[in-house]
Amino acid sequence: MENFTAYNPVKVHFGKGVTDNLGATALQYGKKALLMYGKGSTVKHGYYDRVKKQLVENNIDIAEYSGIKSNPVYEDVEAAIALARKEQVDFIVALGGGSVIDSAKIVSLCVQENLNPWHVMIRQQKPQKSMPLLTVLTLAATGTEMNAAAVLQNHKTGQKVGHVNPLAYPKHSFLDPEYTYSVPKNYTAYGIVDMIAHALEAYFGQGVSRLTDKFIISIIQEAMHFGPLVLKEPENYEYRANVMWTGTTALNGMTNWGKKYGDWGVHALGHELSLQFDVPHGASLSIAYPAWMKLQIEKAGTRIAALGQALWGDSDLRATIRNFENFFESIESPVRLQQAGIDVDKRENIIQGLNDNQASGFVYPLIDEERQRVVDFMYEGAL
């Protein structure tokens, strides 16, 4: 087992009606908020009104930045920073899923020192302080509500990158499962894939920690158990609650305790699909993970076999990979690029992008030839 430090300062408020305390909590951080949210579903389903009411009733002034896209982009973050500085806000409230919260995290890192968000993402600038951030989650998927990570894409540079900074932890995160009732079936499924992929990135990480591996296996089992149930009954509170908490625990740090680091190579592959074709993040991962496992049969065969034994009682490598594909297809998440509308004529574009960005993992590094092979697996599927 590797040495590790367990640290997570986020105060999570979980359950029905927890946002009723949002306003009183927000008062701890000032009298003016930047409220960030997405493209309209939060307004349509009443979550925006409930959050705004909490702030208004506590005499908190509000500046608003809306329209955050499902794959967060540099331009939105840059504009939100400018608005926050112009309005001299004291803190940020992020209402939405991973894209909104990730964008808000980067704003919080940049606004006080007027940093360039892309320079922060690629570590050319290092923030020394951050603006307080409160989150209200509306999509169970990324786990960003309880971690210090954010992802951003920049079409000008042709990159989608992640950044981890302890200053980016939210102060408070409000998780009411009822706020996820309105998530469409496809994005509910993509969220389930995302949490499974987060657990797998840790599972294939560096270091041996048996208890942590049991946490990881349990997270995957919970996602696979409650995922199909919530797709059939999207307004079942218990199903939504279990899916929501599973997504949070999949990336709140606990899956890395006793390990040196995760691999994250599959996320690098998926980011290229989102960057070039705007594929939803979870959908990119259901395509990339089985393909990556096929590529890594020789190098990671022992780990894949142990995973199959733990999840399905079958250590056969090919059966394990097929079982993942079957599960993803059962919840209608794509496992081939063609199913995401990406035909074979885009093959060279994908390979070139992966090579240009040196898409790779920390534990299982990829060379150009392997990036080509994994793309072929994403198209053809055959071993």
Strand partners of residue 136 = 95, 174
Give the CATH architecture of domain 11-180: 3-Layer(aba) Sandwich (3.40)
163 phi and psi angles, rounded to 5 deg: -145, 135
pLDDT value at position 382?
63
pLDDT value at position 70?
86
Listed as ranges, residues in the chain with pLDDT below 70 are: 381-383
pLDDT value at position 383?
59
What is the CATH T-level fold of the domain 185-380, as seen in this structure?
A: Dehydroquinate synthase-like, alpha domain (1.20.1090)
Contact 54, 19 (CB under 8 A): yes
- The secondary structure of 236-279 as a DSSP string is -HHHHHHHHHHHHHTTSSGGGTTSSB---HHHHHHHHHHHHH--
pLDDT value at position 351?
97
pLDDT value at position 71?
85
Domain coordinates in residue numbering, the chain: 11-180, 185-380
Write the burial class of residue 47 (CB in 10 Å: 0-12 exposed, 13-18 middle, 19+ buried): buried
**pTM, whole model, 2 decimals?**
0.95
